[in-house]
Structure 1
């Protein structure tokens, strides 16, 4: 069959789909990955075939056009914004809160997706994919799928805050008088339906089905969704293993890794790197701190027991570690968990606070809010992770839970069946 992946430009949203794309290719299927033109190099570096569509959108420039200040951007960075914050606090699920949240969020989706929609529809109608797989921000995916009659699925890289919010919204919408049942997401997607010859259906909001890469202990599910669980397979993009990782460390190794988005999209880390270095300086550990070059100059000193690098492939680094300090990003958490390493999760952005809480509840980790991530608290947490066997036991349970999920290769036959089930006649 033919499978078309659709993704808005973004390292954190693209990398998690690469292993499934390769599983489909190695099973003999044709695979294409569509995104904006400037993102084609990222796609081809992963060995996949890129389809540049539409025009490039500079998201930072877009923020400036809409008058979004750096202060507002940083405020929006904290946790989940409406309507998705109901995944963290169901008490917020009121009609007014949800409707206002969708009104604002859909405006952002319009701006992000507009550059790709026409080009993606044109290519889909030309190439006629059997299945379109899209990440949750890329609503050009279901539009193109409906326009050509393909089955389509979301591929999640996070908790399904999108499906959870949608379930709450539809429940509240049904309780409103008919004349007040506004639905900004359906109205927007339905407008493209009228343009391309189809009616809005609810699958356009959340897919015919959803591929979920989190184990059950770390995720909540939306009750209306058809989920396919898939084992997370680490892929961090082009990388090489440095020589210092060829041999086992002589003392316990602790890694510090705080993700891409903090410096790519935002103004920096929410954890004081200098505080982390100083707090662990006198411990008998080797600290490996992955700190972007743009942030390294802000450091006053690097202790003798610390190794400062701009990047190290986490799937090579994590197996050598006794503990990992991280930002509770989904890919970082899962890569670390696959090697049964206890974690100190300091979540801040999007679903990271929820992930940190669930990770700690599972038993293989501790969590701190960034406001609590002082030197003494970090030191105490790291010592507990290193000294208390319960955290290693919890990390082993989580590793085994992840390993029990179907690999991307094992998922392919299910995708073939569902594509055949949901595919309609070409438009």
Structure 2
């Protein structure tokens, strides 16, 4: 079986799909990734063949988020995030329009590759409509790969009007593929939104690329260890200023903090770091979560789901995108707390560390997650999709 992974640009969309791609390869199936921008290099580093579907400049032009001073970028991103959160479990039309443009830009090359390679199945990230268009054009099943808590059975139907340009570029009528399945990566009872359609649950297996693991990571901490991370997008688009208040509060918390912002983040705006804050470069997130008593993060889907899988209490400081949705669901499920970055203080972090109810809920959620089918368990059901 040949499986085409059509993934939206960005590692936040790519990383959740890697374990399933690996599972298919390990079972003897062929996999090809079609993506753009930073996703291409990330797929290659994951050991997968990849095709670039659009120049990075074309993707940057659509989002246009990297223009203006950091404060202005932060304001725009936060405003968009709050608007997105207003839609609740549903994907906001703003995102459908934006990713409809991304789908159109990437659809042509995706279709050209697909027609030559002839996949039996298309797995697409949730907002990559080029995958839907190509599956429709080839008459093969499409699998929507989720990455957060949101469940929306009619998402593809709502997305379709925004994909007219993508379908036109692949030469297909504006219609959904003949067979569609949605894969959710959280337990059904934790999903935000109604059940419906053909949906499968799969365990979220964190993939955060490789990295050198420092020796101190294996040593038991003398005090509770709190991980601080803002993912990859927030530091690049907004800088690190959103962490100023959190780091100012750190000396008043009886804990050691690990500041993991990757190797490219400019920490200079933060000034001298408190003595109980240890900055690190790129270290795989799931290894940093192991042994952590809590994690403070931006609410990105990958970080949120990795913390859920690790059973670590969370403090979410949302900056934009779907981060307000994730933060709200973390709090609603009793897995942690959330507050605006400008309102976090030592008392908030101390409360999280001392709350045994949250700790128990986080551990229970991790146990529930571990009981879901692994990516390898979905290989056979995916294979059956290709047989009428």
* TM-score normalised by structure 2 residue count: 0.87
- 1:256 partner SS: strand
Shift in alpha-carbon separation, 1:383–1:113, aligned structure 2, 3 A: same
1:123, distance to aligned residue in structure 2 (A) = 1.7
| Residue 201 of structure 1 pairs with residue 175 of structure 2 | yes
Corresponding residue number in structure 2 for 1:185: 162
- 1:285 aligned partner: 255
Q: How far apart are the structure 1 equivalents of 2:79 and 2:240?
A: 12
Helix, strand or coil for the counterpart of 1:280? helix
What is the distance in 2 between the residues matched to 1:124 and 1:350? Answer: 30
Q: Give me the whole-angstrom Cα distance separating, in 2, the residues matched to 1:120 and 1:89.
A: 29
Shift of 1:337: 2.1
Shift, 1:333, TM fit: 1.7
For residue 47 of structure 1, report the CA deviation from its aligned partner. 0.6
> Which residue of structure 1 aligns with residue 314 of structure 2?
343
Q: Does 1:406 align with 2:373?
A: yes
Partner of 2:216: 244
Give the counterpart of 2:360 among 393, 405, 420: 393
The corresponding residue for 2:203 is 231
Q: CA deviation at 1:80?
A: 4.5
- Contact map agreement 1:13 1:135 (CA 8 A) in 2: yes
Please tell me whether the aligned partners of residues 152 and 193 of structure 2 are also in contact (alpha carbons under 8 angstroms): no
CA distance, structure 1, for counterparts of residue 129 and residue 30 of structure 2: 22
After TM superposition, give the deviation of residue 270 of structure 1 in Å: 6.7
Whether the 8 Å CA contact 2:318–2:341 is kept in 1: the answer is: yes
- Alignment pair present for 1:418 and 2:388: no
Q: Which runs of 5+ in 2 are unaligned?
A: none
**Which of residues 136, 141, 146 is equivalent to 2:136?**
146
Give the equivalent residue in structure 1 for 2:226. Answer: 254
Pick aligned residue for 2:286 from 315, 324, 329 = 315
Match of 1:210 in 2: 182
Other-structure match for 2:191: 219
Note the C-alpha offset of 1:347: 2.2
CA distance in 1, matches of 2:338, 2:63: 32
Match of 1:127 in 2: 117
Query: Contact (CA 8 Å) 1:189, 1:200: kept in 2 or not?
Result: no
Cα distance in 2 for residues equivalent to 1:300 and 1:326: 20
Correspondence 1:295 to 2:296: no
SS at match of 1:78: helix
* Structure index of larger Rg: 1
2:13 corresponds to 1:41: no
Q: Which residue number corresponds to residue 300 of structure 2?
A: 329
Q: Which moved more, 1:71-80 or 1:42-51?
A: 71-80
Provide closer, same or farther for how the CA distance between residues 331 and 210 of structure 1 changes in structure 2, counting only shifts above 3 A: same
Return the alpha-carbon distance in structure 2 between the equivalents of residues 200 and 340 of structure 1. Answer: 43
Post-superposition offset of 1:211:
1.1
Q: Which runs of 5+ in 1 are unaligned?
A: 91-97, 171-182, 422-427
Matched with 1:160 is 150
Task: Indicate if the aligned counterparts of 1:3 and 1:32 stay in contact, CA closer than 8 A.
Answer: yes
Query: Do 2:35 and 2:53's aligned partners in 1 also have CA atoms closer than 8 Å?
Result: yes
Aligned-residue offset at 1:351: 2.1
Q: Is the 8 A contact 1:230 1:407 kept in 2?
A: yes
- The Cα offsets for residues 332-362 of structure 1, whole Å up to 9 and x where unpaired, read as 1222222222111222322221221221222
Change (3 A) 1:358 1:160: closer
Cα-to-partner distance string for 1:26-48 (whole Å, 9 max, x where unaligned):
01111111124875332111011
Matched residues, number:
385
Paired with 1:310 and 1:185, the residues of 2 have a C-alpha distance of 39
Question: CA contact under 8 A between 2:12 and 2:301: conserved in structure 1?
Answer: no
Q: Report the Cα offset of residue 133 of structure 1.
A: 0.6
Q: Are the structure 2 counterparts of residues 37 and 314 from structure 1 closer, same or farther at C-alpha, using a change threshold of 3 Å?
A: closer
Aligned counterparts of 2:278 and 2:66: Cα–Cα separation in 1: 40
Counterparts of 2:175 and 2:9, CA distance in 1: 26
Compute the TM-score of the two structures, normalised by the length of structure 1. Answer: 0.80
Alpha-carbon distance in 1 for matches of 2:315, 2:292: 13
> In structure 2, what is the Cα distance between the partners aligned to 1:122 and 1:4?
12
Deviation string 1:96-143 (CA, Å, 9 cap, x unpaired) is xx9xx75x6565345423343222212211221110111123221122
- Structure 1 residue 17, shift from structure 2 partner: 0.7
Q: Which residue is 1:78 aligned to?
A: 79
